[in-house]
Chains A and B, each alone.
Chain A
Amino acid sequence: MNKIFRTLFFLCSILLAALINAPAASAQTVLKGTVIGSDNNLPLPGVTIHLKDNAKVYTITDDKGNYELKVPSSKGTVVFEAMGYDNKELSLSDPFLFTLVTMILQENLLDEVVVVGFGTQKKESLVGAVQSVRSEDLQITTSSLTSSFAGNVPGLISIRSSGEPGLDQATFYVRGVGTFGYDAKPMVIIDGVETTSDAMVNMIAPEAIESFSVLKDATATALYGSRGANGVILINTKEGRNAEKMSINVTYDTSVATPTYLQKVADGPTYMEQYNEALYNDARFSGTEYEPRYTKQQIEGTRQHLNPYIYPENDWYHLIFKDYAVSEHLNLSVRGGGKKVNYFMNAAIFNEGSIFAPVKNNMIDNGMYSRKIQLQSNVSAMITRTTKLSMKLNCQFRYRGTPAGTISDYFVWTMKVNPVYFPAVLPAEDGDTFIRFGNGASWNAGGTSDIARNPYASYACGSATINHMFMTAVVQADQNLDFITKGLSAKAAATFYNYSYAKVTRQYIPFYFTIDDGYYQRPDGSFFFTTSPIGPDGSTYITYSAGDTGHHRYSILGQLSYKRAFGKLDVTSDMVYRMNEKLNNANSASENDLLPFREQGIAARLTLNYGKRYLAEVNFGYNGSENFITGKRFGLFPSAAIGWTPSNEKFWVPLKKTISSFKIRASYGLVGNDALEKRFPYLTRVSMASRGYVFGNTFRTVGAGYVSTYGNDDATWELARKLDVGVDMQFFKTLDISVDWFKEHRSNIFMQRNSIAAVSGLGSTLPYANIGKMDNGGVDMSLAYKKVFRKDFTMSLRGSFTYAHNEIVYNDEPDYSLTPNLSKIGHPNNSRLLYVAEGIFTSQEEIDSHAQQTFGNYGVGDIKYADITGPEGKPDGIVNALDRVRFDIPSIPEIQYGFGGALTWKGLDFNFMFQGSARVSILMSGHHPFISNKGAGYNIMQYIVDDHWSWDNNRADAAYPRLSAKVINNNIQSSSFYLKDGSFLRLKNIEIGYSFLKKKVRIYLCGNDLLTFSPFKYWDPEMGSGSGLEAYPLQKSAKLGIQFNF
């Protein structure tokens, strides 16, 4: 496999070399004229004009679009360049063409035309909240599209929690989390094909993206009816275009990645000392005699590395992982077209390595990699003068290799497994056909496994290969219907989507050996010891297991569009019919999985623009889903918006120099969310599966049948009422600012009835109802500044800010009138219910005078919790579950922002981008040393070693309470003791590039996530709650790349 990739890269390099050829060139003429834009025929300032063969001969148009250029000869070609317009080349042989030059506006120019639901709209007519982002602004320098969302796209809140190659997609929400129902995630539509896979979205090659739009408010999303409430993201890939020449673009880069942060775990001797301290604490606590588990001799022996087997010390992390991962990426795109046919093709190959280190002499190839091939082919043809037929194909192949187990486990084990219990491997003996992994007798009673964990063995003994394939195909016909009435057109499209997944796992059973008692040190200092096998027999062969899944989806869509201007009034109207179906490919036996998921609906929109000043839009979606009972399947979701552009009014003329553009808009409407936790929620279901009792003298189980779900005939979708008010402003024609304020009320949230008493017998089948309510509101804004100082010096700055705060308005919960601190109502959905820690007890007197804590025995050195309330609604001298309080800073950030800048000077370009999150919290858990709920003998993190309560460090503000060799329930409660501020600011991207050979070649160096600033110091704050090593760590990377443009 690897070989094939190498060959591919090699071949592509040869191709590139062949493509690079630089032509050459040579009377003095003065050219004068004006440049105007095709869109409004107004003069264009700032247009760069230069000789094609000699970029040093150049000028820039002034404020009125006038220019003057002295050229040395009357031969050659002059190039006109302006942002957002196609380059124009004029031959000096025809000088009169130079007096008035019209620059043609680029097709689909995002600044001016915005992709909206089922169509496009001129930006000046837009009244809904639609954020469109240029793909080049996403600054994608990783293979992960979604990870570039944070801070770049106002209105999106996104979080990354894993850096695993091929699985490093971010989770994102439009305007935060709007519901506590089943699904708060937005709908993503790629070229008209709905996808539910973040992984698939993440894999789209950035080079292939033409436009990226986030539909945020009711007007933008109501067309999607019962599915649009969580926002919609539209991604369109590039199409071919009628251009003078074909453009070919090749990029190759290679990068090195290493974890942003590595948590330090105690080494062997430290572990042993700390464990002894824990035993000392326990003995002192229970008044028994202290017996250290590790003798001085053992600790010293380990410290001096006397013998790696008798005094084992395993750095599990470095046994399994290496320091960095290498990846490479090649992208090739071709774009062009003529009068009849347009085409765009893109091929991207990613070959990503990982930090998993190979295991020597192993029966199985270990490690982790991800290879992705992404192919895009978009072709359109004018088959008659009025009919365009187009086809877009997107194929994504992803081949991954991983260890056999759950990836997060490997990281958790490196932190948690005892480092000195046994050596990771024992010396090989003659004739061995297997690795002798070390082990000891079990540390854990009652568990199913009798063998303590040897993480190295668990890693070595298995690997898996996983193949994913995503295919989308769109066939579309566009018919111009001007012959019926001017401005009318129709469109029909069919889309197909298929996802398949297959996994093969290879595993063997490791051979475990243990060092026997009775080893001794010889006089020469060496050790004599024997080993014996322990645990189940290992296997010298490999066993395989496999699994597969997948689904497919198709949809058809018919659309009528009408666009026409009646004097000063511009009218745009669309009407859409669509239906789609999803079916699982998997060989499931459940009827729920076998039945198709269907949706059907119509949507219509009318947009009015009077004199470019008064804007209005009304639209609606009317759609239904198969999920509800007959008669309750369809719903109507209307919305309306108005806007005013005072900057186009006569009275604004004096202001125009400063505030070049000013628009206010407002929208309100209804949208739905039909993603429910239950399929066919109206059905009461019974299970006929065995759930019986053993009867009779043959001991047979008889009995089956119980109600597994109680249905609700009234089940329906969630309803969102959305209000949005926005302002778009432009100052000095260089600074754009856009601000949206929004408010949303979500009702009908489908939730389980949590206020039903257990005596009803409904405890395990709590019924559902559309009863939840939640509010969400906030602000999102963007800022962009661009200034061209000279032909070869431009500067741009941009920034974005999103704030979204939600509050639960109604939640079916127990009656908390006496203990309102427990209620979720009035708090954000992702708020946390925690005990209020008041530091650590430092004396018995303090314990005696404090309320009684009810989490098992506790003493000096343990966490002290506040007595907030009691069953009567006032403090009762007892700390129990009633004393928990909501901490409102949620686990998903409420604020996300980004800012960055770019400079270009001659061939050099430089840009950077910072991204930050704020109002986010981290709750540490599962990091407790020596213990866990599983009762195993875990390791201790270095920061706990550095600062924990002890008899010598009897401080109330120590970073960790009393060490113990067993679970002190009192200290592992979820409490504010472990709640930390998770906000951060990071240098997300920094890039420097140099273009040469007439900008045909560019080399660049770029870094990602190189710096992070955060009050949270224990691990990368973006990885969030937990113990910091519960997923493949986020990576910082450096990348070197080269681009060719022809």
Chain B
Amino acid sequence: MNIKRILILSAVCVCAAACNYLDVVPLGSPKMDDLFRTHTQANKFACAMYSHVYQPNKYDINASMELCGGGDLISGARGDRRYFNWKSLVFDNIETPSQTYFAAWIASGSPTGAHTYKVWEGIRNAYILLEHIDEVPDATDAERAQWRGEAYWIIAYYHHLMLEFYGPIIIVDHLISMNEDMNTPRSPYLDCVTFISNMYDKAAEILPATQSTDYYGRATSVLAKALKARLWLTAASPLVNGNNWYADFKNHDGTPLMPQQYDKELWKKAMDAASEAIVACEANGYGLYEISSASDDFTRGYENYRTAFIGPEGTTNFYNSKEDLFSENSSATHVEFFAPRTVSTYTSEGPKGYIVPTLKAVQTFLSKNGLPMDEDPETKNLDLYSIDQEQNTVLLHLNREPRFYASIGYDRGDYDFNGTTFTLLCRKGEPQQNDGIFANEYQTATGYYVKKWVSRADAYNLSNKSFTTGKHTLPLIRVAELYLDYAEAEAEYTGSLSQTGLRYIDVVRHRAGLPDFAKAWSSAGGTPTGEKLIKAIRQERLSEFVFEGRWYHDIRRWKVADEYIGHTPEGWNLDGSSATDFYKVTPVNEGTFVRSFATPKNYWFAIPLSQLNINKSLVQNPGYN
């Protein structure tokens, strides 16, 4: 009796004293709704979608496979894959499904140092934004249109990135819910292209053509069209257009993933897409960056091309809003990797100059007459590897086009850094030498330096050990590409260049101070057609886009990657202290790394094994097991 009473009493006490005791809820922490509660927050979310864009410089240039793995740049013998990720693709057969250094497909990579881009998460965010746009209470119609267009553009662009790295991919066309079956198979290459192309179209329809200065770099209708041109040009290219390497590349149900029939009409699509993009550019004030008022073509070309990347003399921060349609806006940490040491003893401080041009890149540039060196009547019979006694350098460095001088730092050539222009002295014992001591890791591997991205205003202060560098943009796509896209597509489609095609290619050449294409070739047997024309356009493209990460994509697209990155690259004999000793073509010392770029395997990244285990419909890329 007594006990019962006490029990009841105590139970009542307990409840009265403590009913809300456990009601601890974090009210202050942001929740899903908070992302879209005001137009400012929604706008920030829209901008945050861009954070998964693959930005070579953000992850350090020495890690970037696009920059260092394209055959135009090289980082030498030293350095592990953990920091020099690009090496995993070309050396020692090390990029494997269970060890993916380029983990664009998964949220975390397995080897230490692997880079992740969380591209699929970016796509998810775009669909989340699409779901919530109408909920944002204080947004204007223009803002909603901008966000919707951006979401479409993000979906298209991120799929496009995956397509460039993995080939046929899985199409994500809705916000995937947590409980649905997400183990869908890969879609055939052209289905992916069509999906992405349509998304670009949807984005282009509603996005504005330009952005305010505050938002340079945000998606525009012009950007959507430009990327669409790149997309179709790739789709028409030999790697994916009727390439019999991929005859057995099929889903488990037998669906072929790569078209096995060459379709010439794809080039027409590429032409049309490029044309549409060029028209949009020209109508909206985009074009090539040309500021030089110099009267002679060489100086004008040099100044135009050089300033297009680092800005006119005297500017520190430079955003090339005329030409860059989309770019990685860098804080110029790359100067540390590119600029040479200015003191002759080795130091690990300051500019390191160890990401350097290959001889291949040097050879690629045209002559001062705008022709390939082996076609130009003035140079084709010269021994380019002989020494010009007066200039104290090889003929290869003489009589070249302005873009060469604006991009390459060579022995006895000019270099802009530390507020001055000085002559590079790269032989053994000289200030910009490689001293040959293996332990001194940051040194040029070829005898060259990158000039293109380093401005005279960039400086290193030896006493307080700090860099002063301006901010530049690293273009991810710029207007010049569209003109050359058109020319290439037209040459492939028709075998020759029309007046439009010629005009477009000349836009690019004119800015660089080169004679018109037809005029230049008139001294070398006339305007080429067919294979020779295609070769000439490709060379034009490689020269124009050197050190921009486009080489990696183009050499794969053309099925010639092995020729560029499958073999040990060449440079000069770094042990040579005299001109005669120095100017001997020598394979770059790649240390204990063994080149093993495999065709067709390394044309695409490996799908991470963990995903193959989860998704049984997913097939691996050819060559990876």
Contact = CB atoms under 8 A, between A and B. Distances in A.
Given A450-B348, A683-B31, A767 B10 contact: no
Contacts of A698: 214, 317
B35 interface: yes
Contact of B96 (A680, A816, A854): A854
Pick the most buried of B23, B214, B592: most chain A CB atoms within 10 A of its CB: B592
Interface stretch (A176-184, A699-707, A893-901): A699-707
B616 to A, nearest CB: 6
Given A592-B26, A686-B30, A698-B317, A856 B94 contact: yes
A882 interface: yes
Contact of A767 (B21, B46, B178, B214): B178
A625 B84 CA distance: 49
A2 interface: no
B50 A703 contact: yes
Contacts of B39: none
Nearest to B170: A759
Interface stretch (B117-125, B188-196, B386-394, B578-586): B117-125
Given A626-B22, A761-B123, 10 more contacts: A595-B26, A599-B22, A692-B47, A693-B217, A696-B214, A758-B614, A759-B120, A764-B118, A880-B96, A966-B592
Contacts of B105: 758
Nearest to A852: B625
Interface stretch (A120-128, A435-443, A774-782): A435-443
Contacts of A822: 613
Contacts of A440: 439
A933 B82 contact: yes
A815 B212 CA distance: 50
8 contacts: A697-B214, A706-B45, A706-B48, A758-B107, A815-B616, A818-B616, A856-B93, A857-B93
Nearest to A293: B438
A697 B14 CA distance: 64
A196 interface: no
Pick the most buried of B26, B122, B319: most chain A CB atoms within 10 A of its CB: B26
Pick the most buried of A680, A696, A700, A880: most chain B CB atoms within 10 A of its CB: A696
Given A686-B32, A969-B94, A704 B440 contact: no
Contacts of B107: 758, 763-764
Closest 7 A/B residue pairs (Cβ): A761-B124, A446-B83, A763-B107, A703-B47, A693-B50, A881-B98, A703-B48
Contacts of A485: 2-3
B594 A286 contact: yes
B264 interface: no
A935 B87 CA distance: 14
A706 B608 CA distance: 25
A917 B535 CA distance: 72
Interface in B313-365: 317, 319, 321, 328-329, 331, 346, 348-349
A443 B348 CA distance: 11
Interface of A: 282, 286, 440-447, 450, 484-485, 488, 535-536, 558, 560, 562, 575, 577, 579, 591-592, 595-596, 598-600, 602, 624-626, 630, 633, 680, 683-688, 691-700, 702-707, 710, 754-765, 767, 814-816, 818-819, 822, 852, 854-857, 871, 876, 878, 880-882, 933-935, 965-967, 969
A705 B442 CA distance: 39
B306 to A, nearest CB: 20
Contacts of A819: 613
Given A450-B349, A630-B23, A759-B184, A707 B128 contact: yes
A702 B44 contact: yes
Interface residues of B, number: 105
Given A630-B23, A686-B35, A880-B625, A446 B84 contact: yes
A536 B29 CA distance: 43
B214 A762 contact: no
Contacts of B16: none
Contacts of A934: 80, 82
B329 A759 contact: no
A26 B579 CA distance: 115
Nearest to B439: A441
Given A446-B79, A488-B3, A757-B615, A763 B120 contact: yes
A695 B594 contact: no
Interface string B575-619: 000000000000000001010100000000000111111111010
A282 B172 contact: no
A763 B97 contact: no
B82 A935 contact: yes
B29 A683 contact: yes
Interface in B120-153: 120-125, 128
B106 interface: yes
A935 B84 CA distance: 12
Nearest to A628: B22
B18 A579 contact: yes
Contacts of B442: 445
Contacts of B471: 699
Nearest to A882: B609
B50 A692 contact: yes
B97 to A, nearest CB: 7
B112 interface: yes
Contact of B44 (A443, A680, A692): A692
A814 B592 contact: no
Contacts of A967: 80
Contact of B112 (A536, A624, A933): A933
Given A446-B79, A626-B24, A760 B216 contact: no
Contacts of A965: 592
A783 B612 CA distance: 53
Contact of A484 (B2, B41, B106): B2
A286 to B, nearest CB: 6
A702 B21 CA distance: 41
Contact of B3 (A562, A624, A693, A854): A562
B29 A443 contact: no
A592 B30 CA distance: 12
A854 B34 contact: no
Contact of A763 (B22, B31, B108, B596): B108
Contacts of B217: 693-696
Contacts of B10: 558, 560, 575, 577
A863 B594 CA distance: 20
B121 A699 contact: no
A688 B30 contact: yes
A882 B46 CA distance: 40
A818 B616 CA distance: 10
B92 A856 contact: yes
B255 interface: no
Interface string B48-61: 11110100000000
A824 to B, nearest CB: 12
A532 to B, nearest CB: 10
